Amino acid sequence: MSLIMKKLFTFLRFCLYGLLALIALGAALFWYFVYSPDPVIPQLSGSVNKAFVEVDGLKRSYRSYLPQGLAKGAPLVMVMHGSGQNGAQIRLETGYGFERLADQFGFAVVYPDARSFDWNDCSKTGDFNFEGRAVDDVKFLGVLADKLIADIGIDSRRVFATGVSSGGFMAIRLALEAPTKFRAVAAVSANLPSTENFKCKPVAQGTSVMLMNGTKDPLVPYAGGESSLFGLFFKGGMLLSSLASADYFAVQNKLSAPPALSAATAGGETQVERAVWRDDSKLEVELVTIHDGGHGLPQAYWRRPRLLGPSPMTPNGPALIWEFFARQKP
Protein backbone atom coordinates (compact mmCIF):
# COMPACT_ATOMS: atom_id res chain seq x y z
CA MET A 1 0.00 0.00 0.00
CA SER A 2 1.37 3.40 -0.92
CA LEU A 3 2.19 6.05 1.65
CA ILE A 4 -0.60 8.26 0.28
CA MET A 5 -3.19 5.50 0.72
CA LYS A 6 -2.02 4.84 4.27
CA LYS A 7 -2.41 8.51 5.14
CA LEU A 8 -5.87 8.55 3.53
CA PHE A 9 -7.01 5.52 5.53
CA THR A 10 -5.62 7.06 8.73
CA PHE A 11 -7.50 10.29 8.01
CA LEU A 12 -10.74 8.43 7.30
CA ARG A 13 -10.34 6.37 10.47
CA PHE A 14 -9.94 9.51 12.57
CA CYS A 15 -13.00 11.01 10.84
CA LEU A 16 -15.01 7.89 11.69
CA TYR A 17 -13.87 7.99 15.31
CA GLY A 18 -14.77 11.67 15.47
CA LEU A 19 -18.21 11.03 14.00
CA LEU A 20 -18.87 8.21 16.47
CA ALA A 21 -17.75 10.47 19.32
CA LEU A 22 -20.14 13.21 18.17
CA ILE A 23 -23.01 10.71 17.93
CA ALA A 24 -22.23 9.43 21.42
CA LEU A 25 -22.04 12.99 22.77
CA GLY A 26 -25.33 13.91 21.10
CA ALA A 27 -27.02 10.83 22.53
CA ALA A 28 -25.67 11.63 25.99
CA LEU A 29 -26.85 15.24 25.79
CA PHE A 30 -30.30 14.14 24.57
CA TRP A 31 -30.57 11.60 27.39
CA TYR A 32 -29.56 14.16 30.02
CA PHE A 33 -31.46 17.24 28.83
CA VAL A 34 -34.46 15.90 26.89
CA TYR A 35 -35.26 12.30 27.79
CA SER A 36 -37.62 11.61 30.66
CA PRO A 37 -39.11 8.17 31.38
CA ASP A 38 -42.87 7.82 31.16
CA PRO A 39 -44.79 7.69 34.43
CA VAL A 40 -46.42 4.47 35.53
CA ILE A 41 -50.05 4.34 34.37
CA PRO A 42 -52.22 4.22 37.51
CA GLN A 43 -55.18 1.95 38.09
CA LEU A 44 -58.21 4.06 37.23
CA SER A 45 -61.92 3.34 37.43
CA GLY A 46 -62.70 4.58 33.92
CA SER A 47 -61.09 4.64 30.49
CA VAL A 48 -59.94 7.28 28.02
CA ASN A 49 -61.79 7.50 24.71
CA LYS A 50 -60.88 9.50 21.61
CA ALA A 51 -63.64 11.22 19.65
CA PHE A 52 -64.19 14.01 17.13
CA VAL A 53 -66.36 17.05 16.63
CA GLU A 54 -66.63 19.25 13.53
CA VAL A 55 -66.21 23.00 13.97
CA ASP A 56 -66.16 25.43 11.04
CA GLY A 57 -65.66 22.53 8.65
CA LEU A 58 -62.61 21.22 10.51
CA LYS A 59 -62.51 17.83 12.19
CA ARG A 60 -61.34 18.41 15.76
CA SER A 61 -60.22 15.62 18.07
CA TYR A 62 -60.29 15.18 21.82
CA ARG A 63 -59.87 12.53 24.50
CA SER A 64 -62.21 12.23 27.47
CA TYR A 65 -61.96 10.44 30.79
CA LEU A 66 -65.13 9.59 32.71
CA PRO A 67 -64.80 7.90 36.10
CA GLN A 68 -66.93 4.81 36.59
CA GLY A 69 -70.39 5.75 37.83
CA LEU A 70 -69.98 9.47 37.12
CA ALA A 71 -73.13 11.22 38.30
CA LYS A 72 -75.20 13.60 36.21
CA GLY A 73 -74.43 17.22 36.92
CA ALA A 74 -70.72 16.56 37.48
CA PRO A 75 -68.09 19.25 36.80
CA LEU A 76 -65.83 19.21 33.73
CA VAL A 77 -62.09 19.96 33.71
CA MET A 78 -60.63 20.72 30.27
CA VAL A 79 -56.84 20.19 30.10
CA MET A 80 -54.92 21.76 27.19
CA HIS A 81 -51.53 20.56 26.00
CA GLY A 82 -48.37 22.49 25.23
CA SER A 83 -46.73 23.41 21.93
CA GLY A 84 -46.16 20.55 19.50
CA GLN A 85 -48.13 18.12 21.63
CA ASN A 86 -51.57 16.54 21.83
CA GLY A 87 -53.95 15.39 24.54
CA ALA A 88 -52.20 12.05 25.00
CA GLN A 89 -48.95 13.80 25.90
CA ILE A 90 -50.45 16.21 28.42
CA ARG A 91 -52.07 13.23 30.18
CA LEU A 92 -48.60 11.79 30.60
CA GLU A 93 -46.92 15.08 31.55
CA THR A 94 -49.44 15.78 34.29
CA GLY A 95 -48.73 12.32 35.72
CA TYR A 96 -52.37 11.36 35.03
CA GLY A 97 -53.03 13.67 37.97
CA PHE A 98 -56.40 14.97 36.85
CA GLU A 99 -57.73 11.46 36.27
CA ARG A 100 -56.60 10.39 39.74
CA LEU A 101 -58.49 13.38 41.15
CA ALA A 102 -61.51 12.71 38.92
CA ASP A 103 -61.84 9.24 40.45
CA GLN A 104 -61.61 10.74 43.92
CA PHE A 105 -63.90 13.75 43.52
CA GLY A 106 -66.24 12.79 40.69
CA PHE A 107 -65.65 15.01 37.66
CA ALA A 108 -65.03 14.50 33.95
CA VAL A 109 -61.73 15.30 32.23
CA VAL A 110 -61.32 16.20 28.57
CA TYR A 111 -58.07 16.68 26.64
CA PRO A 112 -58.70 18.64 23.41
CA ASP A 113 -56.16 18.64 20.56
CA ALA A 114 -54.96 21.82 18.85
CA ARG A 115 -55.38 21.50 15.08
CA SER A 116 -51.91 22.86 14.31
CA PHE A 117 -50.26 21.45 17.47
CA ASP A 118 -50.35 24.98 18.91
CA TRP A 119 -53.21 26.97 20.36
CA ASN A 120 -54.24 30.35 18.96
CA ASP A 121 -53.72 32.34 22.14
CA CYS A 122 -53.78 36.09 22.79
CA SER A 123 -50.25 36.80 21.57
CA LYS A 124 -49.78 38.26 18.11
CA THR A 125 -47.17 35.57 17.47
CA GLY A 126 -49.85 32.93 18.13
CA ASP A 127 -51.71 33.16 14.82
CA PHE A 128 -51.60 29.52 13.75
CA ASN A 129 -53.64 28.17 10.86
CA PHE A 130 -54.32 24.81 9.27
CA GLU A 131 -53.86 24.38 5.52
CA GLY A 132 -54.19 28.12 5.08
CA ARG A 133 -57.42 28.33 7.09
CA ALA A 134 -57.89 30.33 10.27
CA VAL A 135 -58.53 28.18 13.34
CA ASP A 136 -60.98 29.47 15.97
CA ASP A 137 -59.89 27.63 19.11
CA VAL A 138 -62.17 29.62 21.41
CA LYS A 139 -65.15 28.44 19.37
CA PHE A 140 -63.88 24.85 19.27
CA LEU A 141 -63.44 24.65 23.03
CA GLY A 142 -66.86 26.20 23.61
CA VAL A 143 -68.51 23.75 21.19
CA LEU A 144 -66.69 20.87 22.89
CA ALA A 145 -67.92 21.99 26.32
CA ASP A 146 -71.49 22.23 25.00
CA LYS A 147 -71.24 18.75 23.48
CA LEU A 148 -70.15 17.20 26.77
CA ILE A 149 -72.84 19.10 28.65
CA ALA A 150 -75.44 17.61 26.30
CA ASP A 151 -73.95 14.12 25.94
CA ILE A 152 -73.02 13.23 29.51
CA GLY A 153 -74.96 15.73 31.60
CA ILE A 154 -72.13 18.00 32.73
CA ASP A 155 -73.17 20.92 34.94
CA SER A 156 -72.87 23.93 32.61
CA ARG A 157 -72.15 26.15 35.63
CA ARG A 158 -69.03 24.15 36.53
CA VAL A 159 -66.97 23.96 33.37
CA PHE A 160 -63.30 24.66 34.04
CA ALA A 161 -60.21 24.93 31.83
CA THR A 162 -56.53 24.54 32.55
CA GLY A 163 -53.44 24.23 30.39
CA VAL A 164 -49.66 24.14 30.45
CA SER A 165 -47.37 26.35 28.34
CA SER A 166 -49.23 26.96 25.03
CA GLY A 167 -52.27 25.42 26.73
CA GLY A 168 -51.84 27.86 29.60
CA PHE A 169 -51.82 30.79 27.20
CA MET A 170 -55.01 29.40 25.66
CA ALA A 171 -56.58 29.19 29.11
CA ILE A 172 -55.81 32.90 29.52
CA ARG A 173 -57.63 33.61 26.25
CA LEU A 174 -60.68 31.68 27.45
CA ALA A 175 -60.73 33.79 30.62
CA LEU A 176 -60.73 36.96 28.54
CA GLU A 177 -63.07 36.01 25.69
CA ALA A 178 -65.29 33.20 27.02
CA PRO A 179 -65.83 33.87 30.74
CA THR A 180 -69.52 32.96 30.56
CA LYS A 181 -68.62 29.47 29.31
CA PHE A 182 -65.77 28.72 31.74
CA ARG A 183 -66.40 29.31 35.44
CA ALA A 184 -62.66 29.40 36.16
CA VAL A 185 -59.36 28.80 34.41
CA ALA A 186 -55.87 27.86 35.61
CA ALA A 187 -52.88 28.80 33.44
CA VAL A 188 -49.57 27.05 34.12
CA SER A 189 -46.25 28.34 32.75
CA ALA A 190 -48.02 31.25 31.06
CA ASN A 191 -48.26 35.02 31.49
CA LEU A 192 -50.38 37.67 29.82
CA PRO A 193 -48.87 39.05 26.58
CA SER A 194 -47.64 42.63 26.84
CA THR A 195 -49.61 45.43 25.19
CA GLU A 196 -47.68 45.37 21.91
CA ASN A 197 -48.07 41.58 21.69
CA PHE A 198 -51.75 41.43 22.65
CA LYS A 199 -54.51 40.72 20.11
CA CYS A 200 -57.48 39.51 22.21
CA LYS A 201 -60.70 41.41 22.78
CA PRO A 202 -61.65 40.92 26.44
CA VAL A 203 -65.33 40.98 27.33
CA ALA A 204 -66.58 42.93 30.33
CA GLN A 205 -67.52 39.95 32.47
CA GLY A 206 -64.72 38.30 34.41
CA THR A 207 -64.08 34.77 35.62
CA SER A 208 -61.87 33.29 38.32
CA VAL A 209 -58.23 32.85 37.29
CA MET A 210 -55.26 30.98 38.74
CA LEU A 211 -51.70 31.47 37.46
CA MET A 212 -49.03 28.93 38.46
CA ASN A 213 -45.48 29.79 37.42
CA GLY A 214 -41.90 28.89 38.31
CA THR A 215 -39.27 31.52 39.02
CA LYS A 216 -36.65 29.65 36.94
CA ASP A 217 -38.78 28.98 33.87
CA PRO A 218 -36.42 29.26 30.85
CA LEU A 219 -39.26 29.82 28.34
CA VAL A 220 -41.79 32.00 30.15
CA PRO A 221 -39.89 34.52 32.30
CA TYR A 222 -41.51 34.93 35.70
CA ALA A 223 -40.40 38.58 35.81
CA GLY A 224 -41.67 39.25 32.30
CA GLY A 225 -39.82 39.78 29.03
CA GLU A 226 -39.45 37.80 25.83
CA SER A 227 -40.89 34.31 25.74
CA SER A 228 -38.27 32.02 24.17
CA LEU A 229 -35.86 29.18 24.84
CA PHE A 230 -32.31 30.57 25.10
CA GLY A 231 -33.45 33.57 23.07
CA LEU A 232 -33.43 31.41 19.92
CA PHE A 233 -36.31 28.92 19.90
CA PHE A 234 -40.07 28.95 20.55
CA LYS A 235 -40.25 32.73 20.41
CA GLY A 236 -43.62 33.97 21.64
CA GLY A 237 -43.13 37.71 21.92
CA MET A 238 -43.06 39.94 24.98
CA LEU A 239 -44.93 39.02 28.16
CA LEU A 240 -45.97 40.75 31.35
CA SER A 241 -44.59 39.43 34.62
CA SER A 242 -46.57 36.85 36.57
CA LEU A 243 -47.49 39.44 39.20
CA ALA A 244 -48.56 42.00 36.59
CA SER A 245 -50.64 39.30 34.87
CA ALA A 246 -52.40 38.46 38.13
CA ASP A 247 -52.94 42.16 38.84
CA TYR A 248 -54.53 42.54 35.40
CA PHE A 249 -57.10 39.85 36.16
CA ALA A 250 -57.73 41.30 39.63
CA VAL A 251 -58.61 44.62 37.98
CA GLN A 252 -60.66 42.78 35.33
CA ASN A 253 -62.62 41.10 38.13
CA LYS A 254 -62.98 44.38 40.08
CA LEU A 255 -61.10 42.99 43.09
CA SER A 256 -59.76 46.15 44.69
CA ALA A 257 -58.47 44.78 48.01
CA PRO A 258 -54.78 43.80 48.23
CA PRO A 259 -54.06 40.09 47.95
CA ALA A 260 -53.80 37.77 50.92
CA LEU A 261 -50.26 36.38 51.00
CA SER A 262 -49.03 33.05 52.32
CA ALA A 263 -45.90 30.94 51.99
CA ALA A 264 -45.16 27.30 52.71
CA THR A 265 -42.67 24.58 51.95
CA ALA A 266 -44.24 21.78 49.91
CA GLY A 267 -42.92 18.31 50.60
CA GLY A 268 -40.04 19.70 52.59
CA GLU A 269 -38.23 20.88 49.46
CA THR A 270 -40.13 23.47 47.39
CA GLN A 271 -40.91 26.99 48.53
CA VAL A 272 -44.38 28.01 47.37
CA GLU A 273 -45.91 31.48 47.70
CA ARG A 274 -49.59 32.16 47.12
CA ALA A 275 -51.27 35.52 46.54
CA VAL A 276 -55.08 35.49 46.51
CA TRP A 277 -57.33 38.37 45.47
CA ARG A 278 -60.96 37.93 46.54
CA ASP A 279 -63.92 39.77 48.04
CA ASP A 280 -67.61 39.02 48.60
CA SER A 281 -68.21 38.38 44.91
CA LYS A 282 -67.90 34.95 43.30
CA LEU A 283 -64.72 35.95 41.48
CA GLU A 284 -61.18 35.20 42.58
CA VAL A 285 -57.61 35.48 41.30
CA GLU A 286 -54.69 33.44 42.62
CA LEU A 287 -50.99 33.54 41.78
CA VAL A 288 -49.02 30.44 42.80
CA THR A 289 -45.27 31.04 42.67
CA ILE A 290 -43.03 27.96 42.59
CA HIS A 291 -39.61 29.14 43.75
CA ASP A 292 -36.78 27.61 41.72
CA GLY A 293 -39.39 25.86 39.56
CA GLY A 294 -38.97 25.47 35.81
CA HIS A 295 -41.41 25.14 32.91
CA GLY A 296 -44.32 22.79 33.47
CA LEU A 297 -46.79 21.52 36.04
CA PRO A 298 -45.25 20.24 39.29
CA GLN A 299 -46.39 16.78 40.36
CA ALA A 300 -44.85 13.66 41.87
CA TYR A 301 -45.20 11.17 39.02
CA TRP A 302 -43.17 12.53 36.10
CA ARG A 303 -39.87 14.41 35.93
CA ARG A 304 -39.83 17.05 33.23
CA PRO A 305 -36.87 17.26 30.79
CA ARG A 306 -33.93 19.18 32.26
CA LEU A 307 -34.01 21.43 29.20
CA LEU A 308 -37.14 23.01 30.71
CA GLY A 309 -35.45 23.99 33.95
CA PRO A 310 -35.75 22.58 37.48
CA SER A 311 -38.50 19.99 37.93
CA PRO A 312 -39.65 19.95 41.56
CA MET A 313 -41.93 17.03 42.41
CA THR A 314 -43.94 19.22 44.78
CA PRO A 315 -46.42 20.81 45.22
CA ASN A 316 -49.14 18.64 43.68
CA GLY A 317 -50.09 20.96 40.83
CA PRO A 318 -53.23 19.14 39.66
CA ALA A 319 -54.52 19.04 43.25
CA LEU A 320 -53.94 22.79 43.72
CA ILE A 321 -55.79 23.48 40.49
CA TRP A 322 -58.73 21.25 41.43
CA GLU A 323 -58.94 22.85 44.89
CA PHE A 324 -59.14 26.24 43.17
CA PHE A 325 -61.86 25.05 40.80
CA ALA A 326 -63.83 23.26 43.51
CA ARG A 327 -64.20 26.36 45.67
CA GLN A 328 -65.67 28.45 42.85
CA LYS A 329 -69.39 28.80 43.47
CA PRO A 330 -71.74 28.37 40.45
Please give the angle made by the CA atoms of 313, 314 and 318, to the nearest 5 degrees.
100
Q: What is the pLDDT of residues 220-260, one digit of tens each?
A: 999 999 887 666 566 678 999 999 999 999 999 999 999 99
- pLDDT given at position 25: 63
CB 184 within 8 A of CB 280: no
Cβ atoms 81, 90 nearer than 8 A: yes
Q: Are strands 284-290 and 208-214 parallel, antiparallel or unpaired?
A: parallel
Q: Number of C-alpha atoms within 13 angstroms, CB side, residue 170?
A: 31
pLDDT digits 0-9 by tens, 265-299: 876 678 999 999 999 889 999 999 999 999 899 98
* Range list of β-strands (E), the chain: 47-55, 58-66, 76-80, 108-112, 129-130, 133-134, 159-164, 184-188, 208-214, 225-229, 233-239, 260-266, 270-278, 284-290
What residues does each domain of the chain span? 39-326
Q: What is the pTM of this model?
A: 0.89
CA distance 28 to 23: 9
What pLDDT does 83 receive? Answer: 87
**What is the model's pLDDT at position 4?**
67
pLDDT value of position 27:
62
Query: Which residues of the chain are under the pLDDT cut of 70?
Result: 1-13, 16-17, 20-21, 23-36, 126-127, 129, 131-132, 229-235, 267-268, 305-307
CB atoms within 10 A of CB 29: 12
Please state the CATH superfamily assignment of the domain spanning residues 39-326 in this structure: Alpha/Beta hydrolase fold, catalytic domain (3.40.50.1820)
Check residue 231 and give its pLDDT.
Answer: 62
